[in-house]
Every structure is written in C-alpha cells, then in structure tokens.
Amino acid sequence: MVIGVMMISVSTGAFTMVAQAIGAGSPVEASATTKQAFTLVTLVSIALSLIGIITSRFALEMLSMPPAIIELGTAYLRVFFAGLVFMTLNFTLSNCLYGAGETRIPLYLNGVMALLKIALSYLLIFGIGPFPELGVTGAALSTVISRAAGFLLGMVLLYNGRLPLCLLPGTSYFPDRARAQRMLRIGIPSAMQGLFRNGSGVVFLKLIALTAAPVTAVAAYSIGNQMERIIRRTSLAFGTAATTLVGQNLGAQNQQAAVQSGWTATLVGALSMALLGLPLAWFAPEIMGFFTVEPAIIRVGVIYIYAIALAEPFQCLAIGAGGALRGAGDTKPALYYTIISQWLVRLPVGYALAFWLHWDISGLWVSLVAFSVLQALLTIRKFTDGSWQNREI
C-alpha cells in the first residue's frame, strides 16, 4: 500500500481534469487526459514494481514480524508487485470514469474481478483439480490475474463509445509534457497524502507488534482492519461523489452548485457512516467470531471495532470535504492535515497511551478516534473558507 500509493499522483489529477472537462462539455479533453493517465501510471508502476520486488523481505523485517510471516509475506509481495501495473491501471480507469460521473461500470468491473479472484484463490491456494497448490502465493497470483482481466474488460468498454467517457481516435497515448505536468501538480500532493497515511499505518502496525501480547494484537488488528477497510470504502464513495460533482460544476462555471454539492455529499456521507456504525458495533463479537474462535483475539478485536464505529463518521467528514477540495484541484490541504493528525497526533498519542500510561493495545485504539476527529475539523474548516472556488488547474 505504501509503494503502490504513488499511483495516486497520476489518477487523482486525471480524476479532477476529466470531471472538469466533462462539466465543460469537452469529450476530447477528457479522452486525451485519460490516455495520458494510462501512459504515466504504467511508467510509474514499472519503477515501483522493481522497488517493491527488491525490498519486500526488508520491509517485513522492519515491521518486526515473526519469521514464518516474513517468509509467507515475501512470497506474496513479490508476486503482487510483479502485477502492480494492473492494480494501478484499474485504479486509474475507475477514477477517470468517476470523473465522468459513471460509477456503475467500476462497480460492475470490481464485481467481476472479485468473483474471479475468489474462484482463482480457492483453486490456486488449495490446488484444486489440475491447479497447483501455491498457498499464499496463489492468493497473490489470483489478485494479479483478476485485475488484468478487469482492466482489459474496462478498455473494451471505453472504446465502444457508449459511456460518458470514451477513448477517441484523435487523442494519443504518447506522453504530453504539459498535460502530464497539470496532472501531477494536482496529484502529487494526494500521492504524498497517501504515502503519509499508509506510512502511518505501517508504523501503527509496528506499535501493535510491540504490545504485551503481539500475536493476539496483530491477529485482532488483521481481522478488524478488514472491517475498517470495508466501511472505509463507503466513506470513500462519498468522497468520490464530492470530487465528481464539485469538479463538473466548476467546469461548468457554476460555483454555487459546486459548494452545495460538496456539502451535501460530505454531510450525507457522515450521517450514513454514523448509522452504519450502529450495527457494526452491535454485532462486533459476531464479526470477530466469524474469523476466529480464540477468546483473546475476539476480546481485543471487539474494542477495535468499537473504535472504528466511533471514528468513521469523522473520517467521512474529512474524506468528503477533502474530495470536494480535490474536485477543485486543491489537494495540498489534505496532505498537511494528514501529516498533522496521523503523524503528530495518532502515533505519539497512541504510543503514550499504550506504553507510558500502560493502556496497551486499547490506547492505540483510542488514538484512532482522536486523530479522526482532528482531521475532520481541519478539513471542514478549509472547505468552509471557500478559497478553493476560484482555483485554476
């Protein structure tokens, strides 16, 4: 996640530029931007793949993981990074479609990829029928194959001319320096935000591994984090809506509608996450029990899920307001607020609560809520001042 997040530098800029091009009624500009995004993200992915393959073992060793996990994780990551380009191309394709206001096709493509990944994982992990038993490596290989299939299907749809975004023959994949610079000017702060956010997550995992019962804590985090990522997808959906609506309205020179749509996506999203958090917290023991029968893991994981339910509405406020700013091409504030809330608050507060005040793993869960509240307040404050409305990309 840390290395792969650099793809955001391209796809975020493409998202904003496609949204404003569609809002301005310029399908040629949208097509040219999309093709440039594919070219740039491919070049970046090749470099990142090589780095990831070389540093996989070292990265896991730095996390203080047990030897067995390092062996399995290294095998997984090397295959994963070998196919990184398909992950980045899929991500970019989805973002360009989001910019055009087309959210159904990415949903369908992700559904196809998920089903294919599940089927291939079962066959390749356990060696069913003629397929070899590859274990964890099979899980990585199924991910790569499913993403490759999803991207190829998406390209077919972009060329058939029936979507709001189409790849037109008059536009080129050949690198365009001016367009690339515009794309990166918007996207690099978002990439850095992602780097700091995921880097914070890596250090957070390091702290979890240093708690009194590290095996139990890491296992509880691994299970609970899947729930956090699932619910975070809902918050990200509202952030995507905010980016699309704000970008298209600004492209159409309708600033008032841009402000209204940004507030609507952000506030409806936060309310939705608050409501979604209620059943998540209520069924926390059952959720943990679905993945493990170990009482200690369940006990620690339930508290983590409670923290997720409390933090996510605030995360959604930050994501929604940040998405609105991104639609205007104003991506630097979200970077600054991520550094402040996650590196200057989450990690120091978590460390102090866990090891100085001896709250152990519970102190780390509390820090999750603390940084989420702060990041929401900072991002909403920036969106409210309105300076982003006159920004040129």
Alpha-carbon dihedral angle through residues 384, 195, 186, 10, given to the nearest 10 degrees: -140
304 contacts 221 by C-beta, under 8 angstroms: yes
How much is the pLDDT for 161?
A: 86
How much is the pLDDT for 202?
A: 87
How much is the pLDDT for 257?
A: 96
Sorting pLDDT into bands at 50, 70 and 90, what band is 121?
very high
Reported as half-sphere exposure (CB side, CA atoms, 13 A), residue 319 has a value of 24
Average pLDDT score, the chain: 92
How much is the pLDDT for 21?
A: 95
How much is the pLDDT for 309?
A: 96
How much is the pLDDT for 310?
A: 97
What are the pLDDT digits (tens) for 2-23? 566 667 777 889 999 999 999 9
What are the pLDDT digits (tens) for 67-87? 888 889 899 999 999 999 998
Sorting pLDDT into bands at 50, 70 and 90, what band is 335?
very high
Q: How far apart are CA 317 and CA 27, in angstroms?
A: 32
Long-range contacts, 345-350 (Cβ 8 Å, 24+): 345/370, 345/371, 345/374, 346/200, 346/204, 346/370, 346/371, 347/200, 347/203, 347/204, 347/207, 350/204, 350/207
How much is the pLDDT for 5?
A: 64
How much is the pLDDT for 4?
A: 60
Q: How far apart are CA 332 and CA 329, in angstroms?
A: 9
What are the pLDDT digits (tens) for 155-201? 999 999 889 999 999 899 998 899 989 988 998 898 888 888 888 99
108 contacts: CB under 8 Å, gap ≥ 6 = none
∠ CA(270), CA(272), CA(276), 5° rounding?
A: 115
% of the chain at pLDDT higher than 90: 77
Q: How far apart are CA 46 and CA 93, in angstroms?
A: 17
How much is the pLDDT for 56?
A: 87
How much is the pLDDT for 293?
A: 92
How much is the pLDDT for 8?
A: 75
Sorting pLDDT into bands at 50, 70 and 90, what band is 378?
very high
- Single-letter amino acid, residue 81: F
171 contacts: CB under 8 Å, gap ≥ 6 = 28, 31, 32, 35
How much is the pLDDT for 6?
A: 63
Sorting pLDDT into bands at 50, 70 and 90, what band is 299?
very high
| Burial call 41-56: b when 16+ CB within 10 Å, e when fewer | bbebbeebbeebbeeb
% of the chain at pLDDT higher than 70: 98
Q: How far apart are CA 29 and CA 35, in angstroms?
A: 10
Q: How far apart are CA 84 and CA 90, in angstroms?
A: 10
**Average pLDDT for 324-345:** 95
Relative orientation angle of helices 27-62 and 67-82, to the nearest 10 degrees: 160
How much is the pLDDT for 3?
A: 62
Residue 264 has pLDDT above 70, yes or no: yes
How much is the pLDDT for 187?
A: 87
What are the pLDDT digits (tens) for 228-263? 988 998 999 999 999 999 999 999 999 999 999 999
Residue 138 has pLDDT above 90, yes or no: yes
How much is the pLDDT for 194?
A: 83
